[in-house]
Amino acid sequence: MADATRMSGTDAAVICSRAVLQDAGLAARFVVEFNGRNMDAFAIAYQGKVHAYVNSCPHRGTTLDWEPGQVFDNSGIYLVCATHGALFEPDSGRCVGGPCQGASLTRVQVEDNAGQVSLVTGRLVQPYLPTTSSADPKGD
């Protein structure tokens, strides 16, 4: 049975162009509503695939970014929490080092569909929030 909250086709909410996301680069931040609650979230590209998570560290609930959209560590291998340095696997969201080791970021279901990153579940409140970097929000 299909997920009742799943959107598809033209109903899918577009977060950003896939071209905005460079592998292990800046995240595309957005706001999603689940169960009547708005939450900051981000989408990333890692090893050619798109992943998205609620932007809330399982340790204390702070956002991960050390600058808007900066969620990868310098190596580009892990996501890192700016508050206490917890490290997360980009493809699973699992914490592999730091005070919340073994816990996980909350995944947001997204799909890469014909060059558009779209929300699969939940309601998109605010699509792509531009950062101060030179990334082009239109993906041009």
Q: How far is the CB of 72 from ligand FES (least distance, A)?
A: 15
Q: How far is the CB of 96 from ligand FES (least distance, A)?
A: 12
Tell me whether residue 32 is exposed, middle or buried, using C-beta atoms within 10 angstroms of its C-beta: 0 to 12, 13 to 18, 19 or more. Answer: buried
Q: Which residues in 10-21 are b (16+ Cβ under 10 Å) and which e?
A: eebbebbbbbbb
Closest CB to ligand FES among residues 49, 84:
84
CA dist 62 and 95 (Å) reads 15
Closest CB to ligand FES among residues 69, 98:
98
Site residues (vs ligand FES, CB under 6 A) = 57, 59-60, 62, 81, 83-84, 86, 98-100
Closest CB to ligand FES among residues 6, 84:
84
Q: How far is the CB of 105 from ligand FES (least distance, A)?
A: 10
CA dist 132 and 80 (Å) reads 19
